[in-house]
Amino acid sequence: MQLQLVGVASLFLVCKYEEIYPPDIKHFVYIADNAYTKYDVLDMEGQILQTLDFSITQPSSYCLLQRFGRIAELDTKNLFLAQYLLELSIIDIKFMNYKPSFLTCAAIYLVHKIRKTPQSWNEEMQNITGYNEQELRFCAKEMCLILQSSDKSNLQAV
């Protein structure tokens, strides 16, 4: 019975986070067939937030690309190329063990290499991201391989 309350409170929490106009709590009480009061749902929401230490989101590669792309001074064309590399990495299992920040940096590094930018990974980027060129090189090579084989892949929806 408590599992249903956790589910309803979680759904309520997600709606409040994601939606501009989230549904009223009475709708969530109704979904649970009135097994709980709105106070039960609110109390469980508070417990969930406390358990998660109010950390309910993680930055995605896309969000990080917007920030790191500005710092790396990527123009629109290169930003789109880096975004495409990140989208390719989503559908390849080899990249599952990397953090979103690392994948983003490897994509930016590879874009600089492809475009033959004189300084592919400068000291400022290293200081801001915490990753050096040697760390990024292997992942960037893997990204380059999936880019080269992307036209032959049967996963063409990216």
**Assigned token pair, 25:** 């709590």
pTM of the model: 0.70
Segment 89-141, tens digit of pLDDT: 998 899 999 999 999 999 999 999 999 887 778 899 999 999 999 999 999 99
Supply the CATH classification number for the domain 2-51.
1.10.472.10
What mean pLDDT is predicted for residues 37-66? 94
Is 90 exceeded by the pLDDT of residue 155?
A: no
Q: Which amino acid is at 143?
A: M
Q: Give percent above pLDDT 90 in the chain.
A: 79
User: What is the structure's pLDDT at 153?
Assistant: 64
Rg (CA), the chain: 21
Asked, colleague to colleague, whether 2-51 and 61-151 share their fold, the answer is: yes
User: What is the structure's pLDDT at 156?
Assistant: 58
Distance CA 64, CA 79 (A): 12
Domain ranges of the chain: 2-51, 61-151
- The SS3 assignment for 50 reads helix
User: What is the structure's pLDDT at 134?
Assistant: 94
Q: Give percent above pLDDT 70 in the chain.
A: 96
Distance CA 108, CA 103 (A): 9
Q: Contact 147/88 with Cβ under 8 angstroms?
A: yes
The pLDDT-based confidence of 7 (bands split at 50, 70, 90) is very high
| Stated length of the chain | 158
Is 90 exceeded by the pLDDT of residue 52?
A: yes
Q: CATH homologous superfamily of domain 61-151?
A: Cyclin-like (1.10.472.10)
